Structure 1
């Protein structure tokens, strides 16, 4: 963390920081080459709506008529202000638009789905005027802990620092920055501990959340946004993480956090509160003044109740409380009252904040923030595309080597399976009873291609895990999609090629194949990577591993059916002949067959004739290998385009 001064702001009268504080922040930022100036965020009449299908209660109409499409406002004219040094908590029932609002402020994927209007200002300037620099001004901590589980805390933060910090900083300064942030967030005692996950023990959930916060703090953002930072944590961890967040705000940062049903001692740490219901504001003001506000409306919080629980019950749909009292107010009543209160009361909290913010000091802050950020970050990314690719390749290789299942278990599966296959079909060339057509050797070739195509299924869950990490890091501006995909392709291609060559070497000599061993290795490696590229393309778009596996099974089953082995080429109906030529299994099996049986012998010629391979001129070893390489390239390009189109 840069050496910033502690900023205490007690209310709206001190929402604008002094120029002396700004200069001290600027001076300390110069030492670290990380621009940081306290920033005030203003949201004015933000409205966001999407098109949904209208519900139909009549069962017959559901089938007989088309559903009407209607506009639904997820965020309805929300206005707020978040000041430096203060923690703004966004609360509301489930479905009230809390995360949607946070995503809109951070310019996340939600803004690309529906229509929005309104203004989001940073120190008086529209955020869009900051251009690509704007995402460096916001730190966004998502609800899920998407971290590389095989890396230590220090390794994760060091990677983030090298990716996100300005090029003008030396590696030593970046490492020093990592240690400073770890010390500030109390992570030094676990710096050499692996994050861990489902397959290996690691740090706790609260510590993981602090690591993600630390990643965002490395680039010293002016605004820190957190989505449910206490979700899934124990009550003690939840309190500790909010205390950490409160400490960050006390040093001049603007903090906005979405939180659901905080315990009373956590609620006490909030400075300001935005209460939402059905996308509408029912209260915005000091957190400790919320109870007074609703008492004036005739809703007194019962003695001994957690005020946060009471407010959530109050703005939810009508229901009976534990005491049997029925709450009759609905969200529209509170929203309408707040709107009237805001427009008619000059002493309203938001009105005071806006009046105090519109002064020369804030104008200077805005200009200084924009100019310094654009000066330090002259490019969209802190590192070059080559550096990003090299660092991501190194990280992927390290993860591959450390992960207990990705490579080591896959290597064991390949070796064991190859030994089983090889021992079962060993010595086929020495069996005279095979006759004119080598059915057994044909079967083993078909089995090998089918097995290698199916074994890539195991990669899909890990691909989805890595994609979640990628989406979070790309949204933070760490690296380009192209750099990530190139690094991912390099590691996946060579690692699975190595595994397939190991499998091929064992089966080739145990079974007793006689074709070109080099071609056998090359075709098996190409085929495995085609199958893996299909899995990667599926994983680039789908959210569920289960759905992805079902889709891969469907595609593979059709490809196997039309491989030319189960159903002869001449027996395939004319309307399905396209499936034969589209089947990557067919090209792999044809290449393996031609390599093994094109020796000019009677048995080999008869086998090729039986399967119709030597009757088609293009079904040569060279053509089959080239077609598989073309499949590999096309599927990789599709995967890249799908991944790039994925919004966050």
Structure 2
């Protein structure tokens, strides 16, 4: 184990021993740093007698660090969920060709499935039984997945209920569109809690704020931020976060058409793009600005706002966006961020 990871382990042990709130003190865990290199994923698409190949992820290199909350942003079809599913070992399809290297805590691994007991995945759509209460869902999951004593299971379940802030609704049915139940934010926190029961080191989430209002979404993100602070590796795709949510990210990855154009500290992203001539306007939401940069539609909006839209047709907009995207890709490949990945 590296000195950096050992420091995180020591910090977690301190928190377990000193935090009377039992904050996720579900036992010791080994912090995980997950890295990948030369990752290429191509999909074979067959329509009638015609077979074509589409690149989903284009020769990517990256790292997910412990004690960091990493957010993956990008337009629809950019490869966010594909990357998340690959890293979590959930990408299984006969029409995919996958190549690349994967390493965990600096050691090359061939099969991420062997580490499933250290990982958790929270899907975008909650799959809790509507007739279960959060407490019942926790106990059911604990009995199915944990080998600890009944007393330890009970302690873990009750600690999670307190820490997730769902004490008031712990015995209310989860509900669905037909059955009235807990709120959307409470349901999402319960879904995260079900995965936390196994005390994972690495947690993947697919757009956890979808369908939530801004206040509730911020509560969920605050929970994830606290998880990261205590040494876990938190990785989440997220759809157009608010400014407040953006400020909770430790690291940011921007994906466009299977290419990474930024990967580093979230707070440095604005300055990075400013050096290329793309200055985020003052008092604007950075994530909204980045999404505009990563879309052809965003470029069209820029032309309209500048009064230039009459001079451009669809082909010209597409060509100009391709040129912009290529500039982003090449600038990233020559940036210090790539050098830092090599030193991770």
Same fold (TM over 0.5): yes
Listed one character per residue, the Cα deviations across residues 19-46 of structure 1 (whole Å, up to 9, x for unaligned) are 35425757969xx895511111112121
- Structure 1 spans left out of the alignment, 5+ residues: 1-14, 55-65, 358-648
User: SS in structure 2 opposite 1:330?
Assistant: helix
Bigger mean CA offset, 97-106 vs 110-119:
110-119
2:61 aligns to what?
79
Q: Contact between 2:79 and 2:256, CA under 8 Å: does it hold in 1?
A: yes
What's the offset of the Cα at 1:160? 0.8
Deviations, residues 345-380 of structure 1 (Å, cap 9, x unaligned) = 4xx13422441x3xxxxxxxxxxxxxxxxxxxxxxx
Q: 1:338 aligns with which of 321, 325, 329?
A: 329
For 2:208, which of 222, 229, 241 is the aligned residue?
229
* 8 Å contact kept, 1:34–1:219: no
Which of 328, 341, 351 lines up with 2:339 in the alignment?
351
2:78 counterpart (88, 96, 108): 96
Q: 8 Å contact 2:103–2:109 — kept in the other structure?
A: yes
1:375 maps to what in 2?
A: none
1:255-296 per-position Cα deviation (integer Å, ceiling 9, x unaligned): 110011111111111111110111111111111111111111
Compute the displacement of 1:93 (Å): 0.7
In structure 1, what is the Cα distance between the partners aligned to 2:165 and 2:217?
A: 15
Corresponding residue SS for 1:320:
helix
Deviations 1:489-516 (A, max 9, x none): xxxxxxxxxxxxxxxxxxxxxxxxxxxx
Q: CA deviation at 1:182?
A: 1.6
C-alpha deviation, 1:80, in angstroms: 1.4
2:197 and 2:320 mapped to 1: Cα distance?
45
Q: Does 1:264 align with 2:243?
A: yes
Equivalent pairs, count: 323
Structure 1 residue aligned with 2:311 = none
Is 2:172 aligned against 1:179? no
TM-score norm. by structure 2 comes to: 0.86
Structure 2 alignment gaps of length 5 or more: 18-24, 309-316
Counting only pairs closer than 5 Å after superposition, residues 181-260 of structure 1 correspond to structure 2 as 181-260=160-239
Distance of aligned partners of 1:177 and 1:287 in 2 relative to their CA distance in 1, 3 Å threshold:
same
Alignment partner of 2:267 out of 288, 299, 313: 288
Distance 1:260 1:325 in 2: 29
Q: Tell whether the 8 Å contact from 1:93 to 1:277 is kept in structure 2 after alignment.
A: yes
Partners in 1 of 2:219 and 2:282 — Cα distance? 26
**Which residue is equivalent to 2:125?**
144
The equivalent of 1:577 in structure 2 is none
How far is the alpha carbon of 1:162 from its aligned partner?
Answer: 1.5
Q: CA deviation at 1:320?
A: 2.1
Does the 8 Å contact 1:230/1:241 carry over to 2?
yes
Q: Distance in 2 between matches of 1:120 and 1:258?
A: 20
- Determine which structure has more spread, i.e. the larger CA radius of gyration: 1
Give 1:303's aligned residue: 282
Is the CA contact (8 Å cut-off) linking 2:44 and 2:96 kept in structure 1?
Answer: yes
Matches within 5 A, 1:104-503: 104-110=86-92, 112-128=94-110, 132=114, 134-165=115-146, 167=147, 169-317=148-296, 318-321=299-302, 323-324=305-306, 329-330=320-321, 333-335=324-326, 337-339=328-330, 341-342=332-333, 344-345=334-335, 348-355=336-343, 357=344
Distance 1:111 1:340, change over 3 A: farther
- Provide the secondary structure at the position in 1 that maps to 2:187: helix
Query: Hey, which of these two has a bigger chunk of strand by percent?
Result: 2
CA pair 197-35 structure 1, distance change in 2 beyond 3 A: same
State whether residues 135 and 157 of structure 2, in contact with CA within 8 Å, keep that contact through their aligned partners in structure 1: yes
More helix per residue: 1
RMSD: 2.6
Q: CA deviation at 1:120?
A: 2.2
Equivalent residue number for residue 19 of structure 1: 6
Contact 2:131 2:173 in 1 (8 A): yes
1:335/1:37 CA distance change after superposition, 3 Å: farther
- How far apart are the structure 1 equivalents of 2:26 and 2:126? 29
Match of 1:398 in 2: none
Displacement of 1:47? 1.1
Query: More displaced, 288-297 or 224-233?
Result: 288-297
